[in-house]
Structure 1
Amino acid sequence: MDQLFLDIVQNERPFAWLYQFFLMVLVSMIPFAPIPVLAAYIASKHAFFPGFAINMLGTTLGSFLLFLLSKSLLRQVALKYLTKRQYLTKYLALIEKNGFLAVLLGRIIPVLPSAGINLIAGISNVNLGAFIAATFLGKLPIILAFSLAGHQIAAGNWDTVFIVALYGLALFLTGKKLMRKWSQ
């Protein structure tokens, strides 16, 4: 099993890109999954645009599927989880007020894991079109950055990787600051 997984992520099987796509779909549905690491690794195994497309489309489809699951099957579980965390109920109130903007900002500034945003948006009144548009636009900069980092690591260009790492750190710190503000 381990060898099969390695063959898939290292492009040593026919249609490995398709397996990588479905792996990104699956991983994007798991809270706290190492999406940045996997996105960089997948991008390092392809030319830039195909690696970026696998990552972007895979994570967007995974977000969409978890959103739909949250709307139907996971609604009670998500509500129970939300009521135990004050900052999540504040985010739910923000989503109820302006769904598109809340999802977009949640994607751009990583206050919550992507799966958390999907679950919260699913139990809210966010319309499907607004969710997909905000998800795609919000994921674009971060997936672009991680795909670029992976591609540059493969090329041995560590200057770009350093800049992308600084960008990721700035987003992380901004997210932590917002999370503290929402927790008060």
Structure 2
Amino acid sequence: MEHLFLDFVQNEKPFAWLYQFLIMVLVSMIPFAPIPVLAAFIASNHDFLPGLLINMLGTMIGSLLLYLLSKRLLRRVALKYLTKRQYLTKYFELIETHGFLAVLLGRIIPILPSAGINLIAGISNVSFVAFIAATFLGKLPTILAFSLVGHQMAAGNWDTVLIIALYLFALFLLGKKLKHKWSR
């Protein structure tokens, strides 16, 4: 199974970019999926811009699909996911009152998994246009950072990797602090 997965994501096949894109779409719909690792790996197999485009488009399409599924079919599942976690209820209240800003901040600062944001936005009153705009603007810095890490690792530029890792770690700590504040 591991060998099959590596065949799909490595850039040795004629349509590897398509397989990588489809895997990124699927993975971005799963809570707690290793999107950063996959994004860095995909970017390490391409020039920077194609790697970034595969990662960004894959996560955008996956987010959009889960948002639409949540809005149309998964409402009960999304509400169950929401009620099990107190901090998600507070995030739901925030997203109901400030939809665009809540989605944007949830994307930039890792308060909760991307799939959770998609599910909550789908059952809330966040409009399609606001969701897409906030998702694009919020995902761009982190997907850019993950893609840059992968590309720089492949090039052996470890100083750049360290700087980006510190940036991502700072975002992670900020997200944990906000999550802890909302859990009270």
In structure 2, the partner of 1:93 is 93
Q: How far apart, CA to CA, are the structure 1 residues paired with 2:4 and 2:60? A: 25
Q: CA deviation at 1:102?
A: 0.3
In structure 2, the partner of 1:148 is 148
Q: CA deviation at 1:83?
A: 1.5
Amino acid at match of 1:91: Y
Amino acid at match of 1:11: N
Superposed CA RMSD = 0.8
Q: How far apart, CA to CA, are the structure 2 residues paired with 1:115 and 1:93? A: 17
Q: CA deviation at 1:39?
A: 0.2
Q: What percentage of residue pairs aligned between the two structures are identical?
A: 80
Amino acid at match of 1:83: T
TM-score scaled by length of structure 1? 0.98
Amino acid at match of 2:132: I
The alignment covers a number of residue pairs equal to 184
Q: Deviations over 1:139-173 (max 9, x none)?
A: 00000000000000000000000011101110000
TM-score scaled by length of structure 2? 0.98
Q: How far apart, CA to CA, are the structure 2 residues paired with 1:103 and 1:58? A: 18
Unaligned regions of 5+ residues in structure 2, if any? none
In structure 2, the partner of 1:27 is 27
In structure 2, the partner of 1:77 is 77
Unaligned regions of 5+ residues in structure 1, if any? none
Q: CA deviation at 1:84?
A: 2.2
Q: How far apart, CA to CA, are the structure 1 residues paired with 2:14 and 2:6? A: 13
Q: Aligned pair 1:104/2:104, yes or no? A: yes
Q: 4+ residue runs of structure 1 moved beyond 6 angstroms? A: none
Q: CA deviation at 1:8?
A: 1.8
Q: How far apart, CA to CA, are the structure 2 residues paired with 1:95 and 1:105? A: 10
